[in-house]
Amino acid sequence: MRIIVFMITVLLLATPALQAATIEQQRDWFQQARSALDNHNLKQFNRLKDKLEDYPLTPYLDIWRASRVLKQGDDRLVEATLMAYADVPETINLRRSWLKYLAKKKRWEAAQALIEKSPKLASRFPEIAMVTSWNMSIDVDTAADKKATYANNAIRQFSERWKQGKATTSLSKSLHRAWVKQGHPTDIERWYRIGTFAEKGKWKKTRVLARSLSKQQKEWLKYWKAIQKSPEKALKAWPESLSELDGVVPAALMLDDGIKRLSRIDQVKAWAALQQLKVSQQQIAPEFFAKLERAVALRAARQHKQLASEWLAQLPLSSQNEDTRGWQVRLAVIDKDWSKTLSVISSMPAEERRQDRWIYWQARALEAGGHDVSANYQFAKLAAGRGYYNFLSAERIGKPFQIESSDIVVSDELIAKVENMLAIRRVSEWLFLNKRSKAIREWHFALADTDQLHWKAATVLASRWGWHDQVIRAAFKADEMGALLDRFPLSYEKIVMKEAKKTGLKPAAIWSVIRQESAFNQHAVSYVGAKGLMQLMPATARQVARKLKMGKGTPRLFSAATNIRLGSTYLAGIKERFGNLALAAAGYNAGPHRVSTWLERVPFDSPEAWVEAIPFNETRNYVKQVMAFVTVYEWRQHQKPSSMHARLHERVQEVSFNQTILVHDAVLE
């Protein structure tokens, strides 16, 4: 077998060249060969592939051929192909397909060997991995000392997946039977699985499980339904039977679900109920209650309720974290409680305390307390940097913004070395063929384990190619954050200038949103389905397109001109509604309705505090980034950067839910 694999490997790597060819001819032959393979024309496929000895993408043809043969039930090409092209990311797909094939064929020894060579397969295909372990434990050829390990791992993994409500297939049938023979599911396991379904309101899925419960436990299940229907009322009528030791797991599951549900309605009532149950349910570990208290307190804090500050402070030290301390500071800042601001920041671990945000708010608190010298010292430290808090600090003490671009210093020899890497040549070809997803995969696969110097070379190379999204990411890997000319491109300039003129937005604002949303990846797609440069959801794009009379249907969101037109119009509409770019950025990211809610809870008379108190981490960081990027993009346009303070304090106009017009001038401090 090893001789066959070796011979196939040699054939794959050493196909004789029949003729020299231009790169244009090779690209054409490559695409013809792919088409021939798709059409099952192996004669033409082989004839074309023989012409492509030196073409960078030829390995893909061999990998696709092995995949095609595997689908037909023959895996003899697979192992050799994986050995020959281990450095080509497309083999990841082939390896996954092979594992599924081996499981289907019940070739467990080969499957286990494959998983051991590629451990990530176990997390990708957990059911196959645990079934493979189980079958290895009953294989007569498995060493005795390994059988117990395989069996224990398989049973443990099955138990965990079963408790989590994970679906299984017929593949797991024999393992399931063995699991049951070993006394599973236990009552505790059964309750965890019930909990998984009950918390999601999937009560139909609990019916079969409930048949095995005792009469008492079935009553508990009815009580859980009552909790979900009316958490405040049900929690007050906590059954005494749940206070017994054998009720610990169901009690904890119900408490967690009930308190969290009540906290969505009323955090004060949830906190009060939690304190009562904490006293009466002492069979449940204190750590459990501390975790629930933290969840309720943080929910109240994100709704800007000042009482949350006291709750957070009461948490045991073991439950305090960066989130709890951060929200204590934010609530103190909203309340202009500067002494508490200083107290909480000073209690932070040193590394946390050194973050720009807390240095800035510490300086603001010192300033408010009349400690100008200490405050200015902190502002001056920040003013030397470049970013949201740095620009705010510079203005605070009348210093100019520190914006200048540094060059990426790397030798031409190293750039040439990186460019001539076979994997990078494949990247270049995929980019030429407009297959960006494959290019990105190759790029990161090739550079994943390289040092910062190679990433510097990669940054320069991507810049030469005009591959802006990867320039931005490579510069980060290379720690070249000062390379502003590379990291903040003026791409799509004609389109941006045109839409800025139409919408009244500053070009810098449009570029900043593009930079934050997609890093100039024209084909970006988010996990929720937002698309293109300005990451528009299709439904939003259709609404804006109708407003602009662009016709029916979903617009072409991967078109730069269309995406920027729709995104700029949408952003301008939100800015017109609120009158302020910071609020518009928040609305663009989280939705205008949420910004309306936040404005009703926290007035915008202190914009820096308002931004700091945005409930969503993503949106808070988004707004700060966009505001800072505007400053950089104004500099990129050879303009004198405008005052960030003035932009934050732009006139605010907001329409509340009852349509009352609320207009007020921002207070300039």
Query: What CATH number is given to the structural domain containing 594?
Result: 1.10.530.10
Contacts of 130 (CB under 8 A, 6+ apart): 153, 154, 157, 158, 161, 172, 175
**Do the domain assignments include residue 290?**
no
Q: Domain end: 178, 207, 235, which one? A: 178
Q: Of the ranges 246-255, 324-333, 463-472, which one carries the lowest mean pLDDT score?
A: 246-255
The reply to whether 472 and 517 lie within a common domain is no
The reply to whether 90 and 173 lie within a common domain is yes
- What spatial distance separates the first Cα and last Cα of the chain, rounded to whole Å? 79
Q: What is the pLDDT of residue 14?
A: 47
With CA atoms as reference, report the closest residue to 656 among 592, 610, 611.
Answer: 592
The reply to whether 541 and 509 lie within a common domain is yes
3-state secondary structure of 375: helix
517, 608, 612, 634: which one is catalytic? 517
Q: What is the pLDDT of residue 12?
A: 52
The predicted-structure confidence for 567-621, as pLDDT tens digits, reads as follows: 999 999 999 999 999 999 999 999 999 999 999 999 999 999 999 999 999 999 9
The reply to whether 656 and 527 lie within a common domain is yes
The reply to whether 642 and 505 lie within a common domain is yes
510, 568 Cβ separation under 8 angstroms: yes
In angstroms, the CA 566 to CA 572 distance is 10
The predicted-structure confidence for 439-462, as pLDDT tens digits, reads as follows: 999 999 999 999 999 999 999 999
Look up residue 614 and give its two tokens: 């945005």
The reply to whether 170 and 56 lie within a common domain is yes
Say which CATH number the domain at 434 has.
Answer: 1.10.1240
The reply to whether 168 and 191 lie within a common domain is no
Q: Domain end: 284, 310, 341, which one? A: 284
Q: Which residues pair with 446 in a beta bridge?
A: none
The reply to whether 208 and 138 lie within a common domain is no
Contacts of 242 (CB under 8 A, 6+ apart): 220, 223, 250, 251, 254, 281
Domain residue limits at 502: 493-664
The reply to whether 498 and 631 lie within a common domain is yes
3-state secondary structure 7-55: HHHHHHHCCCCCCCCCHHHHHHHHHHHHHHHHCCCHHHHHHHHCCCCCC
Look up residue 412 and give its two tokens: 């031409």
The reply to whether 145 and 198 lie within a common domain is no
The reply to whether 518 and 637 lie within a common domain is yes
Annotated active-site residue 517? The verdict is yes
Domain count of the chain?
A: 4
**Do the domain assignments include residue 84?**
yes
**Do the domain assignments include residue 213?**
yes
Q: What is the pLDDT of residue 42?
A: 95
Name the pLDDT band for 245 (thresholds 50, 70, 90).
confident
Q: Which residues pair with 663 in a beta bridge?
A: 653
389, 356 Cβ separation under 8 angstroms: yes
What is residue 643's DSSP assignment? P
In angstroms, the CA 270 to CA 258 distance is 9
Q: Which residues pair with 536 in a beta bridge?
A: 531
The predicted-structure confidence for 8-63, as pLDDT tens digits, reads as follows: 454 455 444 444 689 999 999 999 999 999 999 999 999 999 999 899 999 999 99
Average pLDDT over residues 105-125: 96
CA atoms within 13 A on the CB side of 286: 5
**Do the domain assignments include residue 212?**
yes
With CA atoms as reference, report the closest residue to 65 among 78, 55, 47.
Answer: 78
Q: Domain end: 284, 299, 315, which one? A: 284
Name the pLDDT band for 666 (thresholds 50, 70, 90).
very low
pTM: 0.91
In angstroms, the CA 33 to CA 43 distance is 10
576, 547 Cβ separation under 8 angstroms: no
**Do the domain assignments include residue 323?**
no
The predicted-structure confidence for 126-179, as pLDDT tens digits, reads as follows: 999 999 999 999 987 888 889 999 999 999 999 999 999 998 899 999 999 999
Q: What is the pLDDT of residue 32?
A: 97
